[in-house]
Structure 1
Amino acid sequence: MARARFQLCCSTVAIVYMIQFLLLLPILCYNLPFSSYFLASPISNNETATLLHDFNQQRVRRAYSYFKSQTPGGNPRYYDSVENSSEIYLTVAIITVSRAVEKKRQYPGYVLQTSAGMDKFAKSHEFSRRTFVFVCNVDLNPQEHKEAMFLKKYLPFTERYGLSSFKLEDKYQNQHNYSIYQTKKSEGKYEKETMDYSYCLKVAKSFDPEYVLMVEDDAIPHNDLAYVLKYTLENHLVDNRRSTSQRKDFAYLKLYYPERWQGYAFDVPMFLELLSIGSVGGGVTLVVFQCLAKRRQDNYSSRLSRFLIWMVFFILTAEFVGRQNVMEVRRLSKYLYKFRQASECCTQAMLYPSAIVDSLTTYLTTLPSFKHTDLSIYDFTLQTNIPTYQLEPNLFYHVGMQSSLNKSRIKLLEQFLFRLDLTSSSIPGGKVE
């Protein structure tokens, strides 16, 4: 009798596992990037490129419509009032350079999408009237950056090699000399990248905000950015253990980290994360089965066996679905976002406390040799031993398929398919007063 029950149990478990991993998940995850089943998808690079191009054009049209639908002169007046106020809490610098493909003269419209999303963010309930957004054009020939030129009518701007809609000399006076950014136009690509970043960071800090948010022109904010960031600043980055709350010392808060590197890995934190998923899933399933079979009395070993079977079931499900997709569940609430120590890559969206900017830009602009800016910033934090943090899942989407450092190179396409449906809705539409 016991042997028959054991064989029935094994058969049932085998059938459930086969249905889950050989039928349901392949159907559900076939087109889900970063899942194990997506890797087996026969979709070609040409099909992927066409799909991404179409979605990008949709987002560009939405961004363009967003700005064109605004009341004439309304945006400049809005930011003039913010600039003239004495309570700027956050300054947002959108770093941009022309990405036109030289032969085809095609403009991908990245900065239009980013600017529309950040303008909406600045006018959100959480950050309205205390957030200043400007476009930082670091192109060697700023007049040729057509998208940035279009945005001049709607957002404040500064050009490293041109004009500014606000007077930098009035803000910096003698203690901040900008000649270091203007003297050379023959910098190497890594040196220019670092000097451009430092320039925009210094300009952002000149408005004397509490925080500076540096956003590259191919990063689109998620719809949850405002209320999640506000909660993080007021809770995770504040020490509430004392009688009066004090801000924690930190170098930066990373709001984007490449999804392709956010998967499960062979390290202790990821193992514990998988174990917690399995434990919660196995425990809940066991309780549900016990409630549905009230009359049945199982001994401890039977319940433990069921728990382990379901724990492995949920661990394998999470592994096959992919950590990037599992983490999307955290978007259900601002309380579920994971606050963790930051990794060294990348700079698509970084929030800095204003107090760190001077020492960071001094370090970046006096380097004996230059490498990728994100690595130089990480080296600075290692030398100063200042904590760094990041949020998961990302609060920005990276849409820049075309590299700004190498304009003829197109990056790996699969990574840009992730949550493509949401990036379209992240670009606001409709009239804004």
Structure 2
Amino acid sequence: ITTSVSPFLVLLKSKRRSRYSSPAFQFLTLTVVTFGLVLPLACHRLLYSYYFLKSWYLDAFSQDFLQRSQAAGEAAVRYFEELAREEHQEVDPMDRKRPWLVVTIVTVKRKEEYHYLLQVASRFHRLLQKCNHCDRHEIHLCNVQEVPEEHTEARVLGKFFPLTEMYGEAKGRPLDMADNRFEKEKQDYQYCLSTTLSAFNPEHVLLVEDDAVPMEDFFEVLQHLLTQRFSKPYLRDALYLKLYHPERLQRYINPEPMRILEWIGFGLLGGSLLTALYFSVRGCPAGWWPVFLFFMVYAMVFVELVGRHYLLELRRVSPQLYNVVPVTECCTPAMLFSASSATRVLHYLDTVQCRPGFAKDMALYSFLKQKNEQAFVVEPNLITHVGLFSTLRGIVLEPKLL
């Protein structure tokens, strides 16, 4: 009996081995293990991953972010206290050269415990102090608070940086905020841009909001972009360069179709590498096309589920690796204009009135097709948006990171 059964057992074992060694079984196993086990365990705490467990971590992450922001605000207060104790030598206006770049911080009164304006101003000042090529850079504050003296932080920083104020007894009153907050924001933006051009006559203007903190490599990357990338004719006359786009909107499956080519390119690269690795292990390159197609899709799904944001972060290794792509619609925390493009923007904004559903970012974006203009966005972001409390849409009682 044993002798008669043994061939059957050998045949059964060989069938099992062939089933387990078939590509279909291996690919199914790899897919289930990767997307059903490994990635959920590895990515459930990654804020911009599909696997992020909002119900578990979002509240705690948001509170931790606010606490760190408050600590950064207190550090910024100490920074300017120390700066005030140092002796400063005023520069004679006649000795000033035409600024290459003016960083204009558009500011209103915000929640005081976070010192958003101080965070932004101290970071820009510190980065400029250690920058070797920034001798023609200036920092300018533009206070658009309806009652300027209420914004005490801006008044205090006026001792360190040039300060202009849009409103006041001699300058008239703002629009009724209840009527149109969005039009007021647009007009504030116009005023700050126009004042920067007239007061400094710079080559470039960087308009940043007072909750947009620059990254440590900010000026190094900006120098590379403006002197290298934007020296090319098709980039030189851009209407603007956006330095921030919300991380939650940076995915491949999103309204911006230009990312599809990047996604496919990543799939081709990842699929090629994984296919080569697979056949080097199996040693049988026959039937490579279905294998390559599987690994291409596998790589594309992998990077999308983990989060494109984390792939972009790898570009911070060098300024040369930062990407410049056609602009997307949302948000204006940090916008770079040349002197000529700033003049065009001011003219364009005069022709529209903003309203709910058509804020200044949408107005700027709408000009691109209407006026046959082009604009670009830098990836990854060059600033961190630290404000979770909106001054335009009202204070959020329980702010969230997402």
Pairwise TM-score range, normalised by the shorter structure = 0.7 to 0.9
Equivalent of residue 191 in structure 1, options 150, 175, 183 = 183
- Tell me the distance in 2 between the aligned counterparts of 1:217 and 1:83: 30
Following superposition, the deviation at residue 61 of structure 1 comes to 2.1
Q: Calculate the aligned-residue CA RMSD, in Å.
A: 2.9
Matched, 1:19 2:4: no
Deviates more, 1:57-66 or 1:364-373: 364-373
Number of equivalences: 381
- Aligned twin of 2:109: 98
TM-score by length of 1: 0.79
8 Å contact 1:94–1:136 — kept in the other structure?
yes
Alpha carbons of structure 1 residues 232 and 352: separation in structure 2 relative to 1, 3 Å: same
Matched, 1:299 2:281: no
Work out which structure has the larger RCO, using CA pairs closer than 8 Å and 6 or more positions apart in sequence.
Answer: 1
Deviates more, 1:154-163 or 1:334-343: 154-163
Superposition map of 1:276-355 within 5 A: 276-288=265-277, 293=281, 297-301=283-287, 303-355=288-340
Structure 2 counterpart SS, 1:129? coil
Superposition map of 1:1-400 within 5 A: 4-5=17-18, 7-9=20-22, 10-39=24-53, 41-43=55-57, 45=59, 47-70=60-83, 72=85, 74=87, 77=89, 80=91, 84-100=95-111, 106-125=112-131, 127-162=133-168, 182-187=171-176, 188-206=180-198, 207-239=200-232, 248-265=236-253, 268-288=257-277, 293=281, 297-301=283-287, 303-365=288-350, 367=352, 371-400=358-387
- Tell me the distance in 2 between the aligned counterparts of 1:236 and 1:406: 36
Q: Which amino acid aligns with 1:382?
A: K
What stretches of structure 1 of length at least 5 have no aligned partner?
A: 101-105, 164-178, 241-245, 416-433
8 Å contact 2:388–2:401 — kept in the other structure?
no
1:114-154 Cα offsets, whole Å, 9 max, x none, are: 11122123334354211010111111122211322332233
* Percent of residue pairs bearing the same amino acid type: 31
Deviates more, 1:372-381 or 1:342-351: 372-381
Q: Which amino acid aligns with 2:339?
A: S
- Tell me the distance in 1 between the aligned counterparts of 2:157 and 2:66: 22
Q: Which amino acid aligns with 1:318?
A: V
- Tell me the distance in 2 between the aligned counterparts of 1:393 and 1:81: 38
TM-score by length of 2: 0.84
- Tell me the distance in 1 between the aligned counterparts of 2:63 and 2:353: 43
- Tell me the distance in 1 between the aligned counterparts of 2:184 and 2:74: 31
Q: Which amino acid aligns with 2:143?
A: N
Structure 1 counterpart SS, 2:325? strand
Structure 2 counterpart SS, 1:38? coil
1:318-377 Cα offsets, whole Å, 9 max, x none, are: 121121222112222222222111122221000001112233223324545655222222
1:71-99 Cα offsets, whole Å, 9 max, x none, are: 6355x646x46884223100110000002
Following superposition, the deviation at residue 20 of structure 1 comes to 2.3
What stretches of structure 2 of length at least 5 have no aligned partner?
A: 1-13
Q: Which amino acid aligns with 1:109?
A: H
8 Å contact 2:74–2:114 — kept in the other structure?
no
Deviates more, 1:341-350 or 1:121-130: 121-130
- Aligned twin of 2:5: none
Larger Rg: 2
Following superposition, the deviation at residue 40 of structure 1 comes to 5.4
- Tell me the distance in 2 between the aligned counterparts of 1:37 and 1:123: 41
